[in-house]
Structure 1
């Protein structure tokens, strides 16, 4: 099935789909169809349409065919690694700031954003796609680091001041993550995710809903520890350098994350046309980790880690929407943890959006 067929299928089943992919945006909103023939086709039609049916006492559908929006998107990511003895290092790049216009017609929403920070030399890649319907939601994501990372925090020993190393550029760190989150909204007739995150509906009365889901992600982390030690010797006063713990210096760490999650989301209508949404989900995750080791520095011969840990996803949004004009902000953050006595990693990434727009062309 190609991309066009996927979009047409999503339009047919009535999904609301905001998509961000390197600045390009596509949105699919509920559509109306003629009454099909009775019998099996009618039953199938009713089953599919049930995905977008809502209680209009709580949720007001979209009234316009077209929309125009200006959006600012800011992305963040942090990676922390810690040894069994307490040594740790935290890497993160400079945040990415993008801005651009978007134009939508019913279910098609296209746009372009300009990166205000990186001019093309960082080799950073990121793709995110969020699909929201009344009952189901899915996040798809892929991120690959560029070469603009810095050492944000560094700890060798309690009596060593490592502040001269912190905030220094470091191009010896590389990481990537890809995966998806799929979740089911139980109270879907009265609670609307699209009202908070895609402006295709308006929540008129406060309401919440439990969430249940599954997820999968694949993580790769590669640190040039020799380069980090050279940076430390160069920046730290002579005689104060302490070797990095061998339990930390796995040259590459690749792990896969399988999880089931549960959480709760609440849309608070605190004034007419205003909405505040908060959504939190915790996942029990099974990690399968494989590491290619620098055997000259690492004392473990088989660094295959399998364990259960907690991951999390948080969403926050505030929007004013009178069905004609709208303005708001939204954020989504993912965090992944792996902890064993000899090694710990944490990866956190997310984005914050600010937008303003208006709808036109009455249906």
Structure 2
């Protein structure tokens, strides 16, 4: 993942937000990306959760000033063989700017399971789920509240502060259930939704170097189950996007645990609600360096000439 951020602490109350003095840092992390479906059918008295069995990813990253690059990979031996095998492509891009935050998801998963009882699994190797979504939010109290302090740790939230936010997004979901039981009469579904949302986030600073951040946006999605009909039949569904981060900042290193999830809903052919949740967990360690190789100055000069 390549992440570019704004270059200056402009329009910020320095009493609340400050930047770390080091310009170069490296991080190691453990991450778990996910996407799953929850489906209730009261008529049949069943409830199913279609979970993927993708492995945990191990990753490395480097940050120079406001430019960051990180890469992670999930090894096959880190998955539970009893839960089947999931083939997946999962790209997530989360941009935490001063006034705006953006989230982009491209997730393509095939192969799911349902834990019907303790250590007993039903496998759905043909279930194919694809999700493409883009979300944006405007942060109103951006002079005193920093998303970067909570989810990038490129800044420090010195005094607790929060902010209201508002925005919206677009979601596209493709489901092919083949021989599974989720949509018996219509195994392929294509759902396109656009929505509006708003919410609140807060950074709580306590102790010396500790922080806890939490926020949620809720809203409504307007969508169609058949894109070819050009939204002739519009359905309205709730949506929610929670974020949580907690960690510790020392002068030369930081620890962080974070979670974010994007929940959308739609209806099956019998008008029963289906909930889809996608997102990620991450645990990371960041180390900052007081000195850096001379080649970074050359990189910095090149970056300064870029238009963003």
How many correspondences in the alignment? 283
Partner of 1:132: 96
2:207 is the alignment partner of 1:278? no
Structure-1 separation of matches of 2:126 and 2:234:
27
Give the match's secondary structure for 1:152. Answer: strand
Give the match's secondary structure for 2:125. Answer: coil
Partner of 1:81: 39
Partner of 2:66: 107
Structure-2 separation of matches of 1:362 and 1:188:
31
What TM-score comes out, normalization by structure 1 length? 0.71
Q: Indicate if the aligned counterparts of 1:63 and 1:362 stay in contact, CA closer than 8 A.
A: no
| Deviation at residue 357 of structure 1 after TM alignment | 1.5
Partner of 1:39: none
Structure-2 separation of matches of 1:88 and 1:222:
19
The 5 Å alignment of 1:339-354 reads 339=267, 342-354=271-283
Partner of 2:113: 150
Distance 1:270 1:95, change over 3 A: farther
| Deviation at residue 259 of structure 1 after TM alignment | 0.7
Q: Indicate if the aligned counterparts of 1:81 and 1:248 stay in contact, CA closer than 8 A.
A: no
Structure-1 separation of matches of 2:31 and 2:220:
30
Q: Indicate if the aligned counterparts of 2:52 and 2:86 stay in contact, CA closer than 8 A.
A: no
Structure-1 separation of matches of 2:20 and 2:101:
19
The 5 Å alignment of 1:203-218 reads 203-218=157-172
2:192 is the alignment partner of 1:192? no
1:312 is matched with which residue: 237, 240, 249?
A: 240
Structure-2 separation of matches of 1:353 and 1:315:
12
Partner of 1:356: 285
Gap runs ≥5 in structure 1: 1-24, 33-48, 154-162, 230-243, 293-302
Distance 1:362 1:54, change over 3 A: farther
2:75 is the alignment partner of 1:116? yes
Q: Indicate if the aligned counterparts of 1:140 and 1:181 stay in contact, CA closer than 8 A.
A: yes
Q: Deviations over 1:33-83 (max 9, x none)?
A: xxxxxxxxxxxxxxxx8xx42111001113111001111101222212345
The 5 Å alignment of 1:176-325 reads 176-224=130-178, 227-228=179-180, 249-290=185-226, 306-325=234-253
2:257 is matched with which residue: 329, 332, 349?
A: 329
What TM-score comes out, normalization by structure 2 length? 0.83
Structure-2 separation of matches of 1:201 and 1:352:
21
Structure showing greater Rg: 1
Structure-2 separation of matches of 1:113 and 1:165:
29
Larger fraction in strand: 2
Q: Deviations over 1:209-254 (max 9, x none)?
A: 0010111010111112xx346xxxxxxxxxxxxxx9xx75321111
